[in-house]
Amino acid sequence: MIDTIKDSQEIAKIYYNTAKFYSEIGKYSKALNLANLGIKLLKNESLGYYLDLLLYEKAFNLMKLGKDKKYEKFYLHAMVMADSNGNNSLMNTIKNDVEKYDIEAYNYY
């Protein structure tokens, strides 16, 4: 862990991009671990950038790993953060996932 990321905002982006890469090649546990580390780092620093994307990666990979229904909660968190950040691209991705994977989600959008 580093002391601060306030001067290195790209670290959250690195966590996201690396988690996304591992997710795309089917390494869901690795992707989930990286998303968790990025979320933890952002929470520790009270920062929000890339939090919507990391929450989405966590939700998607939990779903792919069949982790009960925990992923539905993280889809909701990702939706709220994406909407708050005006991240329409992520909102569309989440909407598509909800339909494609028959995810029971709060009809937030």
Q: What is the pLDDT of residues 11-27, one digit of tens each?
A: 888 999 999 999 999 99
Average of per-residue pLDDT across 28-49: 88
pLDDT for 8 beyond 70 = no
Task: Evaluate the CA torsion angle 36, 39, 42, 46 in order and state its sign.
Answer: negative
Q: How many CB atoms lie within 10 A of CB 46?
A: 7
| C-alpha closest to that of 34 among 23, 45, 48, 24 | 23
Distance between CA 65 and CA 3 in Å, rounded?
32
CATH topology of domain 10-100: 1.25.40
Q: How many CB atoms lie within 10 A of CB 80?
A: 14
Average of per-residue pLDDT across 84-107: 88
| Domain boundaries along the sequence of the chain | 10-100
Q: What is the pLDDT of residues 75-86, one digit of tens each?
A: 999 999 999 888
